[in-house]
Copies of this chain bind each other. A is one copy, B any other.
Amino acid sequence: MRLILIGFGNVGQGLAQILHDKAEDLKNRHGFEAQIVGVATGSRGIIAHHAGLAIPDLLDAISTDNFDHYPYSDGLRRYDDAVQMIRETQADVLVEASPTNLNTAQPALAHIEAALATGKHIVTANKGPIARDLPHLRQLAQAKQLQIRFEATVMAGTPSIATGIELLAGCTIKEARGILNGTTNYILTQMENGLSYQAALQQAQELGYAETDPTADVEGWDAAAKVLILLAGVFGKQAQVSDLAVTGITGITQADIENAKQAGERYKLIASATPHGGSVQPVRLPLSNPLAHVGGATNAITFATDLMGDITLIGAGAGKLETGSALLADLLAIHRLRPV
């Protein structure tokens, strides 16, 4: 399977590392062999080679500085434009792992459209194109019998998307609700342990869970993007952030947390998607709810179904290898469906 990687930050490097470290295991267990034939970054170069790029050299070059340091060999091509590289490079799958833009979904949207137009399956960790344009992209893909997979966009490699879309396909899902942002769950957990909001936020920043500007996490926008993805992926509904009721955790005080505790409850930032719409809201959960016991940066999702009642999935929601492994799971799913 020939891959083009767009974006070679944490997530792209995580996938490359896994493909390299597990090459033999993946071949033996699944008959799966992958080759990276093109890599594009925003500012550190775009290269391609029809016979495959060497993963250790890619990781070396990027850790040194940029792809100018990638060793030259016959057939190596350098590009200025990712879309051009995608069009001109023969590959089976485009892996989109460039930074998310929720408003325009660009440039990821252009990458994906170029890839579909030239016959490539799509695997994306980029939330923008899925949150914003899944129905349109599915149409393009179906016309060419190509797949679009996006496990990495929600809960990293914890298989929330495949569970909601494929494994529970026989059920009618009434609601998907969960803890889909690890940073805010970490902050709420630490507030329950006695820290103030500010102290908990600072700790989350020191641990690398929260960005210097934590707005996207603490105001609920990151979770809202995942709600849009669940609406589109699980319920076939296209919506915009402005259609959702979104409240973050910045209004939650230590007194609120303490009151909840007294009542035997816990505050969680709950992202919810139903056939009728979506929301992100702090909710006081009774301890009988499995989501109440999900602490720290861990994520969780509950699918409320007609035939099976509630099914809950708990696991990591972020991380280099965790997200890389979601991309790999999608690649293996495409591999399983290929004609032998």
Report if A325-B167 is in contact (Cβ < 8 Å); known contacts: A157-B308, A312-B313: no
Q: Does A207 contact B (CB under 8 A)?
A: no
Q: Does A52 contact B (CB under 8 A)?
A: no
Closest to A296 in B: B288
Per-position 1/0 for A280-299, Cβ under 8 A of B: 00000001101001110000
Say yes or no: B325 contacts A171, CB within 8 Å: yes
Give the residue among A18, A171, A324, A331 with the most B Cβ atoms within 10 A.
A171
Closest to A25 in B: B172
Please indicate the chain B residues that have their CB under 8 angstroms from the CB of A336 in the complex: 166, 337
Please indicate the chain B residues that have their CB under 8 angstroms from the CB of A316 in the complex: 308-309, 311
CB-CB contacts below 8 Å: A307-328 with B = 307-316, 321-322, 324-325, 328
List 8 additional contacts besides A163-B163, A307-B322, A312-B312; criterion CB under 8 Å.
A18-B170, A145-B340, A158-B311, A167-B329, A287-B293, A290-B294, A307-B321, A309-B315
Q: Does A195 contact B (CB under 8 A)?
A: no
Please indicate the chain B residues that have their CB under 8 angstroms from the CB of A324 in the complex: 307
- Expressed in whole angstroms, the minimum distance between the Cβ of A310 and any Cβ of chain B is 7
Say yes or no: B157 contacts A307, CB within 8 Å: yes
- Number of this chain's copies in the complex: 2
Say yes or no: B310 contacts A315, CB within 8 Å: yes
A interface residue count range (under 10 / 10 to 19 / 20 to 34 / 35 or more):
35 or more
- CA gap between A136 and B167 in the complex, in Å: 26
Please indicate the chain B residues that have their CB under 8 angstroms from the CB of A22 in the complex: 170
14 contacts between A and B (CB under 8 A): A22-B170, A158-B311, A159-B167, A162-B166, A170-B329, A170-B331, A288-B295, A308-B322, A311-B313, A311-B315, A311-B316, A313-B314, A314-B314, A337-B337
Q: Does A332 contact B (CB under 8 A)?
A: yes
CB-CB contacts below 8 Å: A108-151 with B = 145
Please indicate the chain B residues that have their CB under 8 angstroms from the CB of A156 in the complex: 308
Q: Does A169 contact B (CB under 8 A)?
A: yes
Per-position 1/0 for A49-92, Cβ under 8 A of B: 00000000000000000000000000000000000000000000
Please indicate the chain B residues that have their CB under 8 angstroms from the CB of A145 in the complex: 340
Q: Does A241 contact B (CB under 8 A)?
A: no
For the complex of A and B, the 3 pairs showing the least CB-CB separation, nearest first, are A170-B328, A159-B167, A307-B325
Please indicate the chain B residues that have their CB under 8 angstroms from the CB of A27 in the complex: none
Q: Does A168 contact B (CB under 8 A)?
A: yes
Closest to A14 in B: B307
Q: Does A44 contact B (CB under 8 A)?
A: no
Please indicate the chain B residues that have their CB under 8 angstroms from the CB of A170 in the complex: 18, 22, 26, 157, 325, 328-329, 331-332
CB-CB contacts below 8 Å: A212-247 with B = none
- CA gap between A295 and B312 in the complex, in Å: 14
CB-CB contacts below 8 Å: A29-54 with B = 29-30
Closest to A151 in B: B167
Please indicate the chain B residues that have their CB under 8 angstroms from the CB of A308 in the complex: 156-158, 315-316, 321-322, 325
Per-position 1/0 for A164-186, Cβ under 8 A of B: 00111111100000000000000
